[in-house]
Each structure stands twice: as C-alpha cells, then as structure tokens.
Structure 1
Amino acid sequence: MRLLLVRHGQTRSNVEHLLDTAVPGADLSELGRDQAAALVPALGGLGIGAVTASTLVRTQQTAAPLAAHLGLPVAVADGLREIEAGDLEMRGDEESVRRYLDVVAAWLHGDLSVAEPGAEDGHAFFARYDAAVADALAAARAADVETLVLVSHGAAIRTWAGSRVRNVSADFVIATGLENTGVVELVGSPEEGWTCERWAGAVVAPEQAAATGAGAAAEPGSVF
C-alpha cells in the first residue's frame, strides 16, 4: 500500500503564524489555492484511487482540485485534523508557539501524557489519527485501491510519521519541516510497518533518517 500524506495549502493563519487548529479553521489563501491546483500535475499520474481530508476546510479545499481531476469524492475524517492548541488557539506569540511545539516534541520522544490546557494529550491524538488511517486503508482495500491520499496538517503529519514510520526518527521530524502541500510518501501497512520513501520530494534512506534530513527546517508558526 502507498500512502501519500499531504499538508494543506497556505492560509492567512499560516502567514500570520497563528495556532489555528480548531474546526472549521481558515480558508486557503490565493497562494494556497494555487498550491492546491499544482497538486494535480504533481500527483495526478500516480494511480491514486482514494482521497480523504480532515474536517478543517483548508484540507478539503486542498484536496478538491486533485479529487476532481481524478473523478473521486473527497472523504472526510475527523481523526486527521490538526493537533489541538487548546487554550493557545489563535495565538501567535513566540511563547505560545514554543509551548505548542514543546508538546509535539514530548510526544515524539514518548511522553504522551503532556498536553496544553484545553487540548488533547498524545494518547488521544494517536488514537484518533491511527483510527482515521486505519479506516481509510480499510476502505481502500475494499475498493482494491493501492495508492491513497490523506490531506492533513503539518504538526499532525510530522508527529504521526515520527512515531509510526520505521525510518523517520523523532530528531528528524523536529529538525525537518513540511511546507504547504508538501508530501510524505509512505509504503507498507499498519501490520507490516511503514517506510518513508520521500519527504517533501527528497528521498529518505531505508535506515533511520538523521536529524539533518530532507526538506526545509521547521519554522515557528509554519506547521499548523
């Protein structure tokens, strides 16, 4: 099975470095819509047979051009939404962003009990994201689909991949960004395990990636 995890296109909240994690969230900016349209030539020839997005509007808007090109519906899964900011929602100051990213780092290093006030902890995040991936894979298998797209969010994709993919380490995820409409390409299955073949277009080695991995380094406010 081939799983393409696609980050949504740019929003105004991204530009303003706001912790915009709640449903429905911001619409795509003009640039974000252009980025979504560019997924058609980038991914349209890969044999994709299913497209699923989160419940935030920016992921559905990002998925729409590709799905329309492929003649596919966009399924919606709540489990693919962004890691919650809780009481930090829509804040963009440096301290708030640092606290949010510290939670992500703690989860990546195995402490799933950490959470911001008003937000889920790591146990809840992985439970809902794992379930959403499993449901999408089950539907794909039932339809004899080998390649599927999940349109999700920067922190969510990076955190899930850093904990569920055998050759992507926590240090790699913390040091490596995922720009708007960046793609993390995985092969495998939940039963056999996942291997990352490409991160934002750069090949990832079969052995565990080092901290200085592919793609641009993460910037505060760039991951939501």
Structure 2
Amino acid sequence: MPNRTLGGKVVAALAAIIVLGACSSAPHVRTITVTFVRHAQSESNAAGLINTDVPGSGLTEEGWTQARQLARQLAREKYDGVYASTMLRTQQTAAPLAKELGKQVEVLPGLREVDAGWYENTPTSMAELTYLLAPKDWLNGDRKDAIPGSINGDEFNNEFTAAVQKIYDSGNTKPIAFSSGVSIMYWTLMNVKNPKNNLATTHPLPNTGKVVITGSPTVGWTLVDWDGIRDFGY
C-alpha cells in the first residue's frame, strides 16, 4: 500500500511539472494601443465634396489651426510612432505632432481613405445614399459588396489590415496613425471584438476625431475609445 501511495505521488508530481512546463513555454503575445486620428479640415471638407483621390486636397487654414491645436493636446502622450496615409491632408495633420515628439512621419498606403469610385467629387450630403451604401453592407457581413467603380469590403479590409500589421511589426507599443474618417470608422467596426456598428452613423468622426483600440493582430482588437465614447453596450 505505501508503494502504491508513493507511486501515485510521483505520477502527480510529474504531471504537475509537465503542465507547468507547457504553461511556461507558451509564447507571450505583445499587445499595443493604437490611436487613429481623422485628418483636420481639408479643402474638400470645406467645399462639401467627397475627395478620396491620392494625394487629394490639403488642409484649409482652419485645418492647420486644428492640427497645431491637436499637437499641443497630444504632445505629452508619449506616442512612440507616428504614421499617416499617402493622402496630403493626413500627412499635414500629422506633421505638427511629429515635430513635437521629435519623430518622422512614416507613410503607409493602406491607411488611405476608402476609394469613392463613381462618387468622387460628389456632395458629401449625399454620401449616406451613395458612397456609404456598400460600407454599411460590410458591417452587416456582406464584404463582397463593392462601391461602384471601386473596391469591395474584403479588398479594403486587407489593405488597411496590412498597414496595421506593419505598425505592429515596427515594435511600437503606443503608435498614432493619421487616416481618414470612413477608413478609420469602418475598419475599426469590422475588426474589433466589441463593435457598436451604429456609431458610424450616430457619431461619425469629426475632423481630428480619435479612435483608440488595444490588442494585436493575433489576439484581436478591442475598442477602447470612440471620440470620447467609452461605453459600447447596447
């Protein structure tokens, strides 16, 4: 009987060692916090026109004022990487903050605005009935729907996700990325674990509006802040 008891203890001890070894060998997944910022007021914003061509319109005087104010507000946040799309207005918005932080702006094409296709240079007042019809379908699971003359949801998601992957692979833990309203809103809602899809229509991002997510490409992303909104319950 004592031998059986001793044998049982040995087996239990070995099992515990195996379990602990497996736990200790599990790879640690690095998580980061990404802040997306919509560009400041552009000339096309002021004119009330949809403009998604690259490089697109630049900032208005009001837009430059907004960009400088944003830089002063965020200078103490200690962002360790600054990114922008290929669009002129995002790079101009990023420039004052990058200067404050002593960083270079890294340009990533995948952060560009969703191509408006046939609706380029049409009134933004009609966007809900034209440009945004397909993106709304993307949120409902129909990612094969395409904006006429432009891309579908899978193509958009793949391009923007590739840019986010590059940001993650840079090693930054608190990067800030300057992009455009539709791209930020729809990619975020298509990819976070806790989406609240009606935010795209009830609280569209204003110029210099921010969205914050945390996580990684492996474990997924969690929405933390949508331009000041932090409660995403229904």
Tell me the TM-score normalized by structure 1. Answer: 0.86
1:153 maps to amino acid: S
Residues 105 and 174 in structure 1, CA contact (< 8 A), matched pair in contact too = no
CA distance in 2 between partners of 1:93 and 1:183 (Å): 20
More helix by share: 2
Identify the match of residue 134 of structure 2 among 103, 112, 115: 103
Which 5+ residue runs of structure 1 have no aligned equivalent?
A: 211-224
Residue number in structure 2 paired with 1:79: 110
CA contact under 8 A between 1:168 and 1:209: conserved in structure 2?
no
Aligned equivalents of 1:97, 1:85: Cα separation in 2: 12
Aligned pair count reads 203
Structure 1: 4+ residue segments shifted above 4 A: 93-97
1:129 matches 2:160: yes
8 Å CA contact 1:172–1:209 kept in 2: the answer is no
- AA paired with 2:183? A
* Root-mean-square deviation (Å): 1.5
Q: Taking structure 1 as reference, are residues 188 and 114 closer, same or farther at Cα in structure 2, changes over 3 Å only? A: same
Q: Does 1:175 align with 2:206?
A: no
Residue 147 (structure 2) aligns with: 116
Q: CA deviation at 1:117?
A: 2.4
Does residue 184 of structure 1 match 2:211?
A: yes
- The TM-score, its normalising length taken from structure 2, stands at 0.82
1:31-180 alignment to 2 at 5 Å?
Answer: 31-92=62-123, 94-95=125-126, 98-139=129-170, 141=171, 145-180=172-207
Change (3 A) 1:189 1:23: same
Separation in structure 1 between the aligned mates of residue 126 and residue 178 of structure 2, nearest angstrom: 28
Displacement after TM superposition at 1:201 (Å): 2.4
Distance 1:97 1:12 in 2: 21
Counterpart for residue 220 of structure 1: none
Please give the per-residue CA displacement for 1:102-155, whole angstroms capped at 9, x wherever unaligned: 11111111111112222011111000000000011101x1xxx31001100000
Secondary structure class of the residue paired with 1:44:
helix
Indicate the residue corresponding to 1:23 in structure 2.
Answer: 54
In structure 2, runs of 5+ residues without a counterpart are 1-31
Q: State the 1:93 CA deviation.
A: 6.6
